[in-house]
Structure 1
Amino acid sequence: MKYGFFLSLFFVILLFSCKNDDDVNIETIPPRLLADVSPENDEEIREFLETHFYNYEEFAAPPAGFDFRIKIDTIAGENADKTPLMDLVRNATVTVSSTELGLTEEENDIPHKFYYLSARPTFTELDAMLPTPEIGAFPTVADSVFVRYEGKLLNGTSFDSSLNNPVWFDLARLQDLAQGFRGFAEGTPMLKTGGEIISNDDGTVDVEEYGVGMIIFPSGLGNFSRVNGVIPQYSPLIFTIDLFTLNRTDHDDDGILSIDEDVNGNGFLYDDNTDVDDEPINISFANFQDADDDGDGVSTRNEISAENGDIIFPYPSTGGVPDYLNPDVQRTPSGN
């Protein structure tokens, strides 16, 4: 009887538990607005920059064995007199629209500010180079870069790194917000690559005076409302970067560097599609990914090549419009 009582009680509890589960309504919370999150993230980032510093003194006077890696700490206690990051960084602004993140609530061209630091060379040294920069010294958002990096949240949690094994990153791919790290692609061109690549006897290589920097960007240039591993929703991200070298990239192998396919010149590669009106929207893609930029059935490479295969500079044009962007002109290497 005793066991029968407990068994009956168990089934009563199970019955009510199942009933309660059936009655539960799961509420889906829609993503927040870019226009609301962007200023909130900027406030978080600015507070971080005001209350933290990096080891700038070591970069200014490198001690023996210094590894030239950025280390961030809080301004407090014995570090109370340190110069805050806010006084040492610069910033830039890019716009983001909801469609770029696959959001349903329409928002267009919402400003997103990111902050960047060049620890080596210093900004003063960079400014001296910029009027006549060394060829290949600075990447563009369309290039591939060879880097060592670490990604962190503002609370110091590391979510990704390649501190021991440098890797290649295609910045153009990262500029696609579906990847979650557009801020990395936008900030890296603010840094300088290294100099001569030196081969060592053990098979490794060293790069002279490689660039060392940091980028901090809002979630609208990151994962935004997506949870990605330890990265929560709406989280600003920090990346420290050692920039070794770069490759100029022609993604679609059409003879035109991808950066030169930024037709409107706004620095965003994915909104340049000169044949979008001629293709179904589900197969249209940006010029830097499109081997036939005007959709006229003649490849871009053919429309800019001589009979011997050499690229013609300046590119052939008709009526002031490059032939490879003019669907009314189907030029071939023979000139017809």
Structure 2
Amino acid sequence: MNKFKYYFILLLAGISLVSCSKKDDDNTETVPLRDYGTQYKADNDSIEKYLKTHYIKEVTANFDITIEKIPANGTQISIKDQKDYLLTTRPVYSRGVNYNVYYLILNEGKGKSPCNTDRVNAAYVGSLLDGTVFDTSYDIGRSFELYVYVNNPVIDGWGEIFPQFKTGTSTTSDNGTVTYKDFGAGVMFLPSGLGYFGSPQTNIPAYSPLVFSFKLFDLQRLDHEFTVSNGSALTVGDGVPDYLEDLNHDGYLYDLRDTARFPSPPDSYKQDYDTDGDGIPDYLDLDDDGDGYSTRFEITKPIGAPVTGTSLVYPWDPTLDNPATPNVNESETFGIPRRPTGELTDPNKAESIDNPRKFVDDDYKVNPRVRIHLDKTYPYQKK
């Protein structure tokens, strides 16, 4: 059992909005938040009206988009009815509401898709349905962690839509300028429940649906396991990046212990991997298989092992050298092994902690294989 099982820090949205009352300087008037489901119906009506009454005026070669309202008696084709760019939806469950989030694909991208716990480098423009621009990165990529349980997290909607796109490829000039091409680009239309909901922001009134056009340039894989020290969470990771613990490869990892966000999650959300069934998803569990040995211990390369590469832990699978670093050989000829299947140390005795089998090359390479940090039968249990 993971000894950190009972430590968990949630950053929950407030349940009420407090405003000053003019009746008495010493009193405050508590304004309850609106119902999420009721507000979503209103937001969705507003978003669908927007999609039917606005059109795409221009999309540049660099995927900068201009959206304008269709004038009276105008013949422009609405965003909802146009066929040049795919307008699609993603089902999202949050705070008891089944959202259907619209997003527009300008370019899918040709790189890798982020997981909803990764860090992305993206440019964006945020606006209200009336066209008011409340924030922009001015076409410069900025770094954002999509994970919702960090300090100053991005809004929930970003983590739901960015994994639907892929990064681009980059080149660096002699003066250090980085440029991207073939990156993912789109527009997301977010109901307020996946934005700021009842918390007004600068130039964003409470309960405002939001429109974000964006470009996904790059990503950084993250590893979120943490320990608790002096009452504070310290991220340490377990040696397996989050996205590799998303074993159905859909790009989404959730922590269903957050019952405020997920009071009654659908079955699809319950499929997030929890190998040992202790309620802690693997991407937050320091001992994924619950065998009493930490994941990092189980995947650390033993001294003298016939392995290559610069990392102290095995990669998920064998990997090739990175051509971008010609002076360093990162090639890893061995991945995280399964339980060893080679000859017994003493073939006349039963397999045990004192008479283990030897590792063979296939234990590190063959697919599929149950890797040792997901196999509670290894390391061998003590007598």
CA contact 1:274–1:325 (8 Å) conserved in 2: no
CA distance in 1, matches of 2:276, 2:39: 31
For the residue of structure 2 that corresponds to 1:84, the secondary structure is: coil
Q: Match of 2:155?
A: 181
Match of 1:95 among 79, 82, 93: 93
Q: Match of 1:170?
A: 145
Match of 1:161 among 120, 124, 136: 136
CA distance in 1, matches of 2:157, 2:377: 39
1:222-261 aligned within 5 A: 222-252=195-225, 253-261=237-245
CA contact 2:103–2:189 (8 Å) conserved in 1: yes
Q: Match of 1:129?
A: none
Match of 1:208 among 181, 184, 187: 181
TM-score, length basis structure 1: 0.67
For the residue of structure 2 that corresponds to 1:226, the secondary structure is: coil
Gaps of 5+ in 1: 1-19, 98-107, 127-133, 279-283
Residue identity in the other structure for 1:85: I
CA distance in 1, matches of 2:274, 2:112: 30
Query: Offset of 1:193 from its aligned partner?
Result: 2.1
Query: Offset of 1:69 from its aligned partner?
Result: 0.7
Counterparts in 2 of 1:219 and 1:316: CA distance versus 1, 3 Å: farther
Query: Offset of 1:49 from its aligned partner?
Result: 0.8
> Quick check: 1:70 aligned with 2:65?
yes
Match of 1:270 among 255, 268, 290: 255
Q: Match of 1:299?
A: 294
CA distance in 2, matches of 1:177, 1:310: 30
For the residue of structure 2 that corresponds to 1:85, the secondary structure is: coil
CA distance in 1, matches of 2:274, 2:145: 23
Aligned residue pairs, count: 274
Gaps of 5+ in 2: 1-21, 226-236, 257-271, 306-312, 316-334, 341-368
CA contact 2:274–2:280 (8 Å) conserved in 1: no
Q: Match of 1:28?
A: 30
Q: Match of 1:100?
A: none
Residue identity in the other structure for 2:102: Y
CA distance in 2, matches of 1:244, 1:153: 24
Answer 1 or 2: which has greater helix percent: 1
Q: Match of 2:100?
A: 113
1:7-26 aligned within 5 A: 21=23, 26=28
Residue identity in the other structure for 2:113: F
Counterparts in 2 of 1:21 and 1:257: CA distance versus 1, 3 Å: closer
Q: Match of 1:193?
A: 167
Counterparts in 2 of 1:306 and 1:174: CA distance versus 1, 3 Å: same
For the residue of structure 2 that corresponds to 1:288, the secondary structure is: helix
CA distance in 2, matches of 1:143, 1:76: 41
For the residue of structure 2 that corresponds to 1:269, the secondary structure is: coil
- Report % sequence identity: 32
CA distance in 2, matches of 1:205, 1:115: 31
Query: Offset of 1:26 from its aligned partner?
Result: 4.5
Query: Offset of 1:76 from its aligned partner?
Result: 1.0
CA distance in 2, matches of 1:34, 1:250: 31
CA contact 1:303–1:316 (8 Å) conserved in 2: no
CA contact 1:38–1:112 (8 Å) conserved in 2: yes
Counterparts in 2 of 1:218 and 1:314: CA distance versus 1, 3 Å: farther
Query: Offset of 1:96 from its aligned partner?
Result: 0.7
Q: Deviations over 1:204-237 (max 9, x none)?
A: 1211232221111111111222222222222111
Counterparts in 2 of 1:268 and 1:33: CA distance versus 1, 3 Å: farther
CA contact 1:54–1:72 (8 Å) conserved in 2: yes
CA contact 1:154–1:238 (8 Å) conserved in 2: yes
CA distance in 2, matches of 1:223, 1:207: 30
Q: Match of 1:46?
A: 48
Higher radius of gyration, 1 or 2: 1
TM-score, length basis structure 2: 0.60
